[in-house]
């Protein structure tokens, strides 16, 4: 089985960082937020939103694992260390809220008026 260049560690660091991690992840994270309300009113099924979330997580993990693997494909060794630190911190920041997510009922507020 032949792995893509980025996940095998054969892509340039600048390409992986700017194209996959910055531009790609920005689009993958922002587009669902920007189109969610429109999709909902168009009758998009709720399981479809779950599928979008799974695809989003897969892309972000793939991009940052690729960054880790290609970190030292640069002339400056210090950029490789910075890229590896960034990939770990970014993945933790992205995945940490998922660990705390639990579906709970909406908060209900009772309006009390004086009579």
d(CA 3, CA 45): 33
Instruction: Report how far residue 12's alpha carbon sits from residue 107's, in angstroms, rounded to the nearest whole number.
Output: 48
Q: What six digits make up the tokens of 16?
A: 């992986």
- Using one digit for the tens of pLDDT, what is the confidence trace for 76-89? 999 999 999 999 99
Q: What is the pLDDT of residues 87-113, one digit of tens each?
A: 999 999 998 887 777 666 666 777 777
Domain segments of the chain as ranges: 13-100
Give the predicted TM-score (pTM) of the model. 0.81
- Stretch (H or E) spanning 35: helix 25-41
Identify whether the C-beta of residue 70 lies closer than 8 Å to the C-beta of residue 19. no
pLDDT at 97: 85
Distance in angstroms (rounded) separating the CA atoms of residues 90 and 16? 14
Q: How many helices and strands in the chain, by DSSP H and E?
A: 4, 0
What pLDDT is stored for residue 3 in this prediction? 65
Q: Give the per-residue pLDDT at 104.
A: 64
CA angle in degrees (0–180, nearest 5) for 71-25-104: 120
Q: How many CB atoms neighbour CB 73 within 10 A?
A: 18
């Amino acid at each position: 089985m032949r792995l893509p260049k980025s996940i095998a560690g054969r892509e340039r660091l600048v390409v992986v960082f700017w194209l996959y991690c910055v531009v790609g992840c920005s689009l993958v994270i922002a587009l669902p937020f920007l189109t969610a309300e429109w999709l909902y009113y168009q009758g998009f099924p709720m399981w479809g939103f779950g599928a979008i979330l799974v695809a989003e997580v897969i892309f972000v993990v793939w991009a940052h694992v690729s960054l880790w693997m290609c970190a030292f494909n640069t002339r400056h060794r210090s950029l490789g260390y910075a890229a590896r630190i960034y990939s770990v911190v970014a993945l933790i920041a992205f995945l940490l809220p998922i660990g705390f997510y639990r579906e709970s009922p909406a908060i209900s507020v009772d309006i009390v008026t004086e009579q």
